[in-house]
Structure 1
Amino acid sequence: MFHINLVAKCKKNDRKAQMQLYDKYCQGMFCVAMRFLKNEDDAEDVLQEAFIKAFQKIEQYKGDVTFGAWLKKIVVNRSLDFLKVKKAHMVALDETYMQVAQDDDWTVEDGITVQEVKMAMEGLSEKYRLVLQLYLMEGYDHDEISEILGITNTTCRTRLLRGKGQLKEVLNERFITKKSRLD
């Protein structure tokens, strides 16, 4: 109820309500931006742009999802836009010709921590890391990821599968190294 009242006030351009929503969601949305950008200054810039856009477009918020989910989508899209601009000089690889194999096995060795998974993801190429991050950490499905990244569903599934394979390979290497140090 509290959020509904704040959003209603924000739609009337109430600056205090905007500040209250900003204070409520700033830290969480900063963490979302940091997961993509890995740089505090860039994440702060993207966060500010996301809040500005959210308050400019608040009339489009209809309440069919939580305000936090709506805002998170804006932060994710702004983060991805930032990365696209940063990588604009790179040539995209067309993966639409690839066939997708189905592999729903996400198990890893016992003893591998969430932090080790996150660190291993950092070493992956951006195209695989972004799909994995959106799927595993942000909870988006293939259709949503395809729309966010502007790729086909097949490309999304292919990148997820390949990224998962690379991630498992890195984690297995680290686990073997970690285990040999303990022995």
Structure 2
Amino acid sequence: MEPMRLNQNPDPLTLKRLRKRCRRTQAQVYAQYADAAWTLARRLAGCEEMARDAVQDAFVRAFERIGDFVGPNGFGAWLRRILVNRVMDLHRQRSRVTDLEGLPERWQDHGFGPALDLDAALARLDALDRQVIWLYDVEGLSHAEIAALNGQTLSWSKSRLSRARARMRALLQTDDERPARQARSHHG
């Protein structure tokens, strides 16, 4: 079975088997969507443990509530919504503050360059900022889709993305850039 992205949908026969709670079909659907779900959850959660919990919970919830899904289109988007909501629920439950000392060792600065800097900066953003940046810039969702996922307005999504990008830029500035920018902002 080919891996599927969260914007793709299984065929109608697969959906029918899911509704009949066929374990083999559930395992196949899990195998098809697991990588995409894991990637999204890891970026939104900021830590692997929370991402693992969110992915597992999202698939269990999707399979339990497959009767609530109205198809044939949109299964991937429906699963994404369940996953995003689960990550946000876990953030609220754990409500912890992430600082660099609490980051996994692989995210701490060891001079490995821009990709690592991006991972560390994403991990330091709050959950909603991380979610909006990832869904818009990486997953390619529209502002309307992000707003709907969060029960918010279109303008909320646009302003949240703008603020999140500003926070991300601030986190990515090097120590050499900070004083120069601060000096310019105080004099201009």
* TM-score (normalizing by structure 1): 0.67
Contact (CA 8 Å) 2:41, 2:54: kept in 1 or not? yes
Q: Gapped runs of 5+ residues in structure 1?
A: 89-111, 178-183
Q: Gapped runs of 5+ residues in structure 2?
A: 1-8, 97-112, 179-188
Shift in Å at residue 8 of structure 1? 1.4
Partner letter of residue 87 of structure 1?
A: S
Residue in 2 aligned with 1:46? Answer: 54
Q: In 2, Cα distance between the equivalents of 1:84 and 1:26?
A: 24
The CA deviation string for residues 46-98 of structure 1, in whole angstroms up to 9 with x for no partner, is: 22221122112223240223x3333222211211122122239xxxxxxxxxx
C-alpha change, 1:175 and 1:25, in structure 2 (3 Å) is farther
Identity, % of aligned positions: 29
Partner letter of residue 162 of structure 1?
A: R
Contact (CA 8 Å) 2:129, 2:160: kept in 1 or not? yes
Q: In 2, Cα distance between the equivalents of 1:139 and 1:69?
A: 12
Contact (CA 8 Å) 2:91, 2:127: kept in 1 or not? no
Residue in 2 aligned with 1:165? Answer: 166
Instruction: Name the count of aligned residue pairs.
Output: 153
C-alpha change, 1:126 and 1:40, in structure 2 (3 Å) is closer
Matching residue within 77, 81, 86 for 1:78: 86
The answer as to 2:21 corresponding to 1:20 is: no
Q: In 1, Cα distance between the equivalents of 2:54 and 2:122?
A: 22
* TM-score (normalizing by structure 2): 0.65
Q: In 2, Cα distance between the equivalents of 1:46 and 1:126?
A: 13
Contact (CA 8 Å) 1:61, 1:70: kept in 2 or not? no
Residue in 1 aligned with 2:185? Answer: none
